[in-house]
A and B are shown apart, each in its own frame.
Chain A
Amino acid sequence: MAIQAAWICLFAPLAGAFAITVMGESITRRTAAWLSTVSVFVAFAGAVVAFVELLGKSAEEREQLSTAWTWLSTTNLEIGMTLLVDPLSVTMMLIVSGVGGLIVLYSIGYMDGDPEERRYFAYMSFFVFAMLLLVQAGNFLLLLAGWGLVGLASYLLIGFWHERKEAVDAAKKAFIMNAFGDATMALAFFVLIWQTGSLEFGDVFARAEGMSSTLLNLVALGLLGGAVAKSAQIPLHTWLPDAMEGPTPVSALIHAATMVTAGVYLIVRAHPLFELAPTIQDLAAGLGAITLVVAGLIALVQTDIKRVIAYSTMSQIGYMFVGVGLGAYANGMFHLMTHAFFKALLFMAAGLVIHHLAGEQDIRQMGGLRRVMPKTAIAFLVGSLALVGIPPLSGFFSKDSILASALASGGYGQLLFAAGAAGALLTGLYTFRLFFTVFLGQPSQLVLDRDHGEPHHRGEGPWTMTVPVAVLTVLAVVGGWLQIPDVWHPFGDWLHDVAEPLVEPSVAQDLLASALAVGVALIGIGIAWVFYGARRRDLPRAAALRDILEHKLYVDELYDAVFYRPAVWMAGMWRRTIEEPLIGGSIAGVSLGARRAGSALGETQTGYLRSYALAIAGAAAVLVVVFLAVQ
């Protein structure tokens, strides 16, 4: 039963996307939108059924594999279209289809009126299918297929308004950086195939122990490369802020709740391999720590509402990487789940703001929206508090569990803890900078122009938009109550058999981590209040630092110089030096040579009768001599 539900969960969104594509203009835009939404909710229903089924089973029975057909097979390698239903995959299924369904529903209102709505909803359904394929895949190759297809969906959706050059460029950049991650993962798989003869999870994990440590490190590094690209961690992070060119629900779904967390999922799924390559696992945690601090810093100088939230996402995924990098798999996944709730909430609330202000995204144009959109303000506030980690909201439990695990992981872990604490301060700072600037204070000129400072008489948006926001608000509050350290931990138990944690913090460490984190976060909020709250004190100058942060540490320029420009230069140079001579030259050379040889030989045709006669006589003489000599 669970398996059939899983198959339905996987294929319902694909069927939706296919139907919308094929029926094209014969259905109305609204119908297409609802078709897509329903298909995703059907997937959610399937996920719930699978979940309930698994709950009723004992631990051993909770891993179910089902192969529908052989996808690829040669004599030595067989890859099936295999689904894996286990606690980890079911958790992801629920998050993807649940939060996804809410966001697609929200899109109905948000994208209303756009002439290309059908395409949008086809792409959204396709994305949900691809993401579900990724999390339900029973072998690495199918996982990579899902991995690549979500990258494709992301490209299609970022570049949705394809008449904007910025959107198209952002889409291409996202795809190409992810293609790099795909390539490193493929390399890891080559090694795995030659060493273990299979790409099925069970086979690989069982046989991997025999591999040399160099190879294990390479494999883990390859997987990490893919994870870093997909989750926009440093150094492959520059595509994520640009991805905000896509519609806001896309940012909510793909670039906050689901696709970017795929890297975390991969590390948890492949944790036996990472545990065999502890250096790489530590590297993952380290990259996560660096990212969470740097992203927090960059978020401080962003002026686009979506970009602040994007960098926040990058930073929070850094936390997840720290968690899984240290072996606290359940904690990392827990934060993944709560983050999906409050980050999607934040994006959607931001979407309500953008929608209300007819597309304006610059926070310097906003202010005092609390009076005009009170419900949105509450939603945003809840999301912000959850993000910052204020108890009893969800972010508190999840983030602090990771910090506690860091504390419990020895010297390196404590270093990471320090980074995490710094990150918490930054989180409080940039989050409330955003909240205060947008919602508090005097209404800005733009806000006044829009509605003369009064609550919008038609409500803050259609029900298709406000209901999902409300649901997520509730989830952002209560979602964390699934795992209260040392009191009850059903989440940790649920995932225990799939990914046993490497570290279990003590009660004291839990309390210490939480106290420090909350304290630091409150300091951050306080600083934000000072500069951005009611009084709005002036900011310190620090122009150079500001420049570096605004240019995202110049990483984009670095990639441009190291990869893009050399590629262009090399292509141009080869074209001039090799291609043109080869195409033009070779044939010209051949014909010239042929002509020269022809005229040289033509010299023998003198036209003189006597020279021909001499030639005949001479040849005859030579032949006579030869015959005589041979005799």
Chain B
Amino acid sequence: MDGPDLAWYLIVSAILFSIGTLGVLVRRSPLIVLLSLEIMLNAANLALISFARLHGGHDGQIFALTVMAVAASEVVVGLGLIVAMSRRRLTLDVDSFRLLRG
């Protein structure tokens, strides 16, 4: 295999994943949370493709394509919800939606 070792790709993937996780956990704006979720998904994609490249098979790439499709669909729904919320002038703050508490 040409280029850097697999390990570097995985490290980049891990860093991206952590950034995404932190974003989901810490940020309060739903838009940013969705963004962070995207970063996590892409980190996973990177890892998948690296391994695909390592093993020489196509499974990882196909899986990555599937993930991209799912990510796109989920972003559409999420952004749609956010647009709907902002149109109704609701606060775009994840912490304020607490109706389903026990």
Q: Which stretch of A98-106, A160-168, A237-245, A599-607 is in the interface? A: A599-607
**Which size class do A's interface residues fall under?**
10 to 19
Establish whether residues B25 and A605, one from each chain, have CB atoms under 8 Å apart when the complex forms: no
Tell me the chain B residues, 67-102 only, with Cβ under 8 Å from chain A. 94-95, 97-102
Establish whether residues B25 and A608, one from each chain, have CB atoms under 8 Å apart when the complex forms: no
CB B21 to nearest CB in A, in angstroms, measures 6
Tell me the chain A residues, 103-133 only, with Cβ under 8 Å from chain B. none
B49 sits at the interface (CB 8 A): no
Chain B residues lying within 8 Å of A57, measured Cβ to Cβ, are none
Contacts A603-B102, A604-B102 given; indicate if A609 touches B94 (C-beta within 8 A): yes
CB B102 to nearest CB in A, in angstroms, measures 3
B48 sits at the interface (CB 8 A): no
Chain A residues lying within 8 Å of B21, measured Cβ to Cβ, are 617
Establish whether residues A602 and B102, one from each chain, have CB atoms under 8 Å apart when the complex forms: yes
Establish whether residues B100 and A610, one from each chain, have CB atoms under 8 Å apart when the complex forms: no
Chain B residues lying within 8 Å of A614, measured Cβ to Cβ, are 25
Selected from A601, A606, A617, the residue in CB contact (under 8 A) with B101 is: A606
Chain A residues lying within 8 Å of B97, measured Cβ to Cβ, are 607, 609
State the CA gap A605–B98 with chains docked (Å): 10
B16 sits at the interface (CB 8 A): no
A545 sits at the interface (CB 8 A): no
State the CA gap A605–B99 with chains docked (Å): 10
A72 sits at the interface (CB 8 A): no
Establish whether residues B102 and A608, one from each chain, have CB atoms under 8 Å apart when the complex forms: no
A590 sits at the interface (CB 8 A): no
Contacts A610-B94, A610-B95 given; indicate if A605 touches B24 (C-beta within 8 A): no
Establish whether residues B98 and A607, one from each chain, have CB atoms under 8 Å apart when the complex forms: yes
As a 0/1 sequence over residues 569 to 602 of chain A, the CB contacts with chain B under 8 angstroms (1 = contact) are 0000000000000000000000000000000011
A613 sits at the interface (CB 8 A): yes
Chain A residues lying within 8 Å of B95, measured Cβ to Cβ, are 608-610
Establish whether residues B100 and A605, one from each chain, have CB atoms under 8 Å apart when the complex forms: yes
Establish whether residues B25 and A617, one from each chain, have CB atoms under 8 Å apart when the complex forms: yes
Chain A residues lying within 8 Å of B26, measured Cβ to Cβ, are 610
Establish whether residues A613 and B25, one from each chain, have CB atoms under 8 Å apart when the complex forms: yes
Chain B residues lying within 8 Å of A608, measured Cβ to Cβ, are 94-95, 98
State the CA gap A602–B102 with chains docked (Å): 5
CB A245 to nearest CB in B, in angstroms, measures 72
Establish whether residues B101 and A610, one from each chain, have CB atoms under 8 Å apart when the complex forms: no
Closest residue of A by beta carbon distance from B21: A617
CB A610 to nearest CB in B, in angstroms, measures 6
State the CA gap A621–B96 with chains docked (Å): 27
Establish whether residues B102 and A610, one from each chain, have CB atoms under 8 Å apart when the complex forms: no
CB B38 to nearest CB in A, in angstroms, measures 15
Establish whether residues B24 and A607, one from each chain, have CB atoms under 8 Å apart when the complex forms: no
Chain B residues lying within 8 Å of A603, measured Cβ to Cβ, are 102
**Which size class do B's interface residues fall under?**
10 to 19
State the CA gap A606–B97 with chains docked (Å): 11
Closest residue of A by beta carbon distance from B95: A608
CB A622 to nearest CB in B, in angstroms, measures 15
Establish whether residues B94 and A605, one from each chain, have CB atoms under 8 Å apart when the complex forms: no
State the CA gap A457–B100 with chains docked (Å): 104
Chain A residues lying within 8 Å of B99, measured Cβ to Cβ, are 607
Establish whether residues B101 and A607, one from each chain, have CB atoms under 8 Å apart when the complex forms: yes
CB A621 to nearest CB in B, in angstroms, measures 10
Tell me the chain B residues, 4-42 only, with Cβ under 8 Å from chain A. 21, 24-26
State the CA gap A609–B102 with chains docked (Å): 13
State the CA gap A614–B23 with chains docked (Å): 11
Chain B residues lying within 8 Å of A613, measured Cβ to Cβ, are 24-25
Chain A residues lying within 8 Å of B100, measured Cβ to Cβ, are 605, 607
Chain B residues lying within 8 Å of A609, measured Cβ to Cβ, are 94-95, 97
State the CA gap A602–B98 with chains docked (Å): 14
CB B97 to nearest CB in A, in angstroms, measures 7
State the CA gap A613–B25 with chains docked (Å): 7
State the CA gap A617–B37 with chains docked (Å): 13
CB B22 to nearest CB in A, in angstroms, measures 10
Chain B residues lying within 8 Å of A604, measured Cβ to Cβ, are 102
State the CA gap A602–B100 with chains docked (Å): 11
State the CA gap A608–B96 with chains docked (Å): 8
As a 0/1 sequence over residues 81 to 105 of chain A, the CB contacts with chain B under 8 angstroms (1 = contact) are 0000000000000000000000000
State the CA gap A610–B100 with chains docked (Å): 13
State the CA gap A605–B101 with chains docked (Å): 5
Chain A residues lying within 8 Å of B24, measured Cβ to Cβ, are 610, 613, 617
CB A615 to nearest CB in B, in angstroms, measures 11
Closest residue of B by beta carbon distance from A621: B21
Chain B residues lying within 8 Å of A606, measured Cβ to Cβ, are 98, 101-102
Chain A residues lying within 8 Å of B102, measured Cβ to Cβ, are 601-607
Closest residue of B by beta carbon distance from A602: B102
As a 0/1 sequence over residues 366 to 393 of chain A, the CB contacts with chain B under 8 angstroms (1 = contact) are 0000000000000000000000000000
CB B49 to nearest CB in A, in angstroms, measures 21
CB A600 to nearest CB in B, in angstroms, measures 10
State the CA gap A608–B102 with chains docked (Å): 11
State the CA gap A609–B98 with chains docked (Å): 8
CB B91 to nearest CB in A, in angstroms, measures 14
State the CA gap A603–B26 with chains docked (Å): 21
CB B80 to nearest CB in A, in angstroms, measures 17
State the CA gap A613–B94 with chains docked (Å): 12
State the CA gap A608–B21 with chains docked (Å): 16
CB A270 to nearest CB in B, in angstroms, measures 77
State the CA gap A614–B100 with chains docked (Å): 17
Interface residues of B (CB under 8 A from A): 21, 24-26, 94-95, 97-102
Query: In the complex, given contacts A606-B101, A608-B95, what are 15 additional A-B residue pairs having Cβ atoms less than 8 angstroms apart?
Result: A601-B102, A603-B102, A604-B102, A605-B100, A606-B98, A607-B99, A607-B102, A608-B98, A609-B94, A609-B95, A610-B26, A613-B24, A614-B25, A617-B21, A617-B24
3 smallest A-B Cβ distances: which pairs? A605-B102, A607-B101, A607-B98
Would you give 15 A-B contacts (Cβ < 8 Å), ordered by A? A602-B102, A605-B100, A605-B101, A606-B102, A607-B97, A607-B99, A607-B100, A607-B101, A607-B102, A610-B24, A610-B25, A613-B25, A614-B25, A617-B21, A617-B25
